[in-house]
């Protein structure tokens, strides 16, 4: 398994490297940075004061000094020496394309993209694969390949200097994780639960980011600050032009992951962090709300979809959106506070994307912590859907629990029953009522035994 930086909504390619845009984004996350700074005293209490980094123009000597210091910070020794190599941008582009194809073979990427359009993440015509390749070809400064125990530097990235040392420290942590904590044992390539994958990536990247910041704080001076400003404001056309949902997913493992690992560290130092690799977080909900992992663990509710193949639908994609991407979706149209409040009661979900006779269909079943949480989400998602599509409901049932919309080409359904919410989006001719009847709690009164679909 190879590891590099590529965290996109539902496109999780087991990526574990650091990009220049990390510092750019973290500038606006003052609360996270303050938290990391407050850990400084506790970290130094465990590992002792770090000596000033040896000033040398010798690239190999500088790397050795960084490796030695980050091993002491992370309190894990190298079991065997690392190898270093260089990769040009053309090789990097090919590398990224290969990783995408491994995780999303054939038409799987296209199917996922069509599902994202149905949700409302983006518009038709957006080329997700092309954007991933362009974005990471531009942004990646280095990567760790645990197949070969090699740290690869990308051509054009600084090989020496404070920023290069800080990036190197981050990558060395990934090597330490690989050698001691079993990265291959984490579900980083799980095919049908990208929310769980994103949570595990946040553990790994948050770990490396906390250690990296301790390394960075140990050597801050005017020169490193100048280098940081230069790296921060380097022009990044691909990143600037990327849709918000991609940016949010790129930064989640680093920013939210660092906050999660900081709480773990405060709970029991690096030993506590190490132990989590044996029982990793199961959802982004646990990353966003560490008390749901550190305290009484709140794992997601398993959600299954009915067999719609009985109705002739061919399943093209099935996955989990999770609390984080539910929040990201709502935030595209709602203000941050409303999106946070509506997504916080998430308990579990699963969506499926289908095709039949030229028609496409998305079904999304979510479970919430309480009936009230489900009702709050349903109201917010209704507002999101109406603003995203510019439509008013065609009608609602007597209790106001079920809503339908239709346009020239599409039909939508949104319903709530107790803690469950169901959203259906299909092209005209998708026979949404029959699909709805496949969900036990959402059957219409007219549903008959012949049209029921077993769950």
- What one-character-per-residue DSSP string does 136-155 give? HHHHB-EEEETTTTEEEEET
Q: How far apart are CA 395 and CA 386, in angstroms?
A: 13
pLDDT at 453: 35
The C-alpha torsion from 304 through 245 and 276 to 168, rounded to 10°, is 150
pLDDT tens for each residue of 196-238: 999 999 999 999 989 988 888 777 554 554 554 444 434 467 7
pLDDT at 78: 95
Q: How far apart are CA 244 and CA 380, in angstroms?
A: 19
Token pair of 281, please?
A: 């977080």
Which helix or strand (DSSP H or E) is residue 86 part of?
strand 83-87
Average pLDDT value over all residues in the chain: 81
Q: Tally the C-alpha atoms within 13 A of residue 9's C-alpha that lie toward its C-beta.
A: 27
Q: Tally the C-alpha atoms within 13 A of residue 236's C-alpha that lie toward its C-beta.
A: 23
Q: Which residue numbers in the chain have pLDDT < 50?
A: 1-33, 35-36, 41, 44, 47-55, 222, 225, 228-235, 398, 446-455
**Residue that is written with structure tokens 């990044």 in the block:** 236
pLDDT at 105: 83
Q: How far apart are CA 71 and CA 211, in angstroms?
A: 9
Kindly list the distances between the CA atom of residue 393 and the CA atoms of 10, 396, 409, 412, in Å, as whole numbers in the listed order: 29, 7, 15, 9
CB 380 within 8 A of CB 331: no
Phi-psi group of 432: left, alpha or beta (phi > 0 → left; psi -120 to 50 → alpha; rest → beta): alpha
pLDDT at 158: 66
User: What is the CA angle 271-211-168, rounded to 5?
Assistant: 130
Token pair of 14, please?
A: 């087991």
Count the neighbouring beta carbons within 10 Å of the beta carbon of residue 24. Answer: 17
Which helix or strand (DSSP H or E) is residue 47 part of?
helix 40-47
Backbone phi and psi for residue 434, each to the nearest 5 degrees, phi listed first: -65, -40
3-state helix, strand, coil in the chain (%, to 5): 50, 15, 35
**Residues sharing a CB contact under 8 Å with residue 106, sequence separation 6 or more, in sequence order:** none
Q: Where are the domains of the chain?
A: 7-294, 308-451
Count the neighbouring beta carbons within 10 Å of the beta carbon of residue 32. Answer: 18
Q: How far apart are CA 87 and CA 101, in angstroms?
A: 20
Strands laid side by side in the 395-396 sheet: 314-319, 346-356, 359-368, 420-427, 410-417, 402-406, 395-396
pLDDT at 222: 45
Please state the length of the chain.
455
Outline where DSSP puts E strands in 275-397: 314-319, 346-356, 359-368, 395-396
352 pairs with which residues across the strands?
Answer: 318, 363
pLDDT at 100: 83
User: End-to-end alpha-carbon separation of the chain, Å?
Assistant: 35
CATH architecture of the region 308-451: 3-Layer(aba) Sandwich (3.40)
**Residues sharing a CB contact under 8 Å with residue 269, sequence separation 6 or more, in sequence order:** 42, 46
Q: How far is CA 318 from the centre of its chain?
A: 17
Kindly list the distances between the CA atom of residue 453 and the CA atoms of 71, 434, 446, 448, in Å, as whole numbers in the listed order: 56, 9, 14, 10
Backbone phi and psi for residue 97, each to the nearest 5 degrees, phi listed first: -60, -40
The C-alpha torsion from 173 through 158 and 1 to 304, rounded to 10°, is 80
Residue in 409, 406, 404 with CA at minimum distance from that of residue 422: 404
Q: How far apart are CA 203 and CA 183, in angstroms?
A: 11
């Amino acid at each position: 398994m190879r590891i590099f930086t590529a965290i996109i909504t539902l496109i999780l390619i087991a990526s574990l490297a650091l990009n220049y845009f990390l510092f750019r984004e973290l500038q606006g996350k003052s609360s996270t940075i303050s938290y990391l700074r407050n850990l400084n005293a506790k970290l130094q209490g465990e590992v002792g004061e770090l000596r000033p980094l040896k000033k040398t123009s010798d690239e190999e000597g500088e790397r050795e000094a960084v490796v030695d210091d980050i091993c002491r910070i992370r309190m894990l020794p190298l079991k065997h020496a690392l190898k270093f190599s260089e990769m040009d941008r053309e090789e990097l582009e090919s590398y990224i394309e290969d990783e995408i194809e491994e995780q999303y073979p054939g038409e799987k990427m296209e199917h996922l993209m069509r599902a994202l359009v149905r949700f409302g993440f983006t518009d038709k015509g957006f080329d997700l694969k092309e954007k991933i390749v362009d974005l990471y070809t531009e942004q990646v400064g280095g990567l760790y390949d645990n197949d070969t125990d090699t740290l690869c530097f990308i051509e054009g990235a600084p090989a020496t200097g404070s920023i290069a040392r800080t990036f190197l420290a981050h990558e060395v942590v990934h090597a330490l994780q690989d050698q001691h904590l079993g990265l291959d044992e984490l579900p980083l390539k799980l095919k049908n639960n990208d929310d769980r994958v994103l949570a595990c990536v946040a553990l790994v990247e948050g770990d490396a980011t906390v250690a990296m910041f301790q390394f960075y704080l140990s050597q801050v001076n005017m020169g490193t600050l100048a280098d940081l400003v230069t790296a921060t404001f380097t022009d990044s056309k691909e990143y600037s032009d990327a849709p918000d949902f991609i940016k949010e997913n790129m930064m989640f493992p680093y920013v939210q992951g660092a906050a999660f690992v900081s709480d773990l560290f405060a709970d029991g130092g690096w030993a506590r962090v190490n132990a989590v690799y044996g029982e990793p977080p199961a959802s982004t909900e646990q990353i966003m709300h560490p008390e749901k992992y550190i305290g009484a663990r709140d794992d997601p509710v398993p959600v299954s979809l009915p067999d719609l193949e009985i109705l002739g639908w061919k399943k093209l994609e099935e996955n989990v959106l999770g609390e984080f991407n539910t929040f990201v979706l709502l935030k595209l149209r709602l203000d941050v506070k409303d999106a946070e409040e509506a997504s916080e009661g998430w308990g579990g979900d699963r969506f499926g994307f289908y095709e039949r006779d030229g028609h496409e269909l998305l079904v999304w079943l979510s479970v919430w912590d309480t009936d009230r949480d489900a009702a709050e989400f349903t109201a917010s998602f209704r507002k999101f859907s109406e603003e995203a599509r510019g439509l008013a409901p065609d009608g609602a049932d007597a209790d106001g629990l079920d809503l339908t919309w239709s346009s020239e080409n599409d039909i939508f359904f949104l319903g709530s029953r107790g803690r469950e919410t169901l959203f259906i989006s299909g092209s005209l001719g998708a026979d949404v009522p029959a699909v709805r009847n496949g969900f036990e709690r959402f059957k219409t009164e007219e549903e008959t035994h012949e049209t029921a679909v077993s769950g």
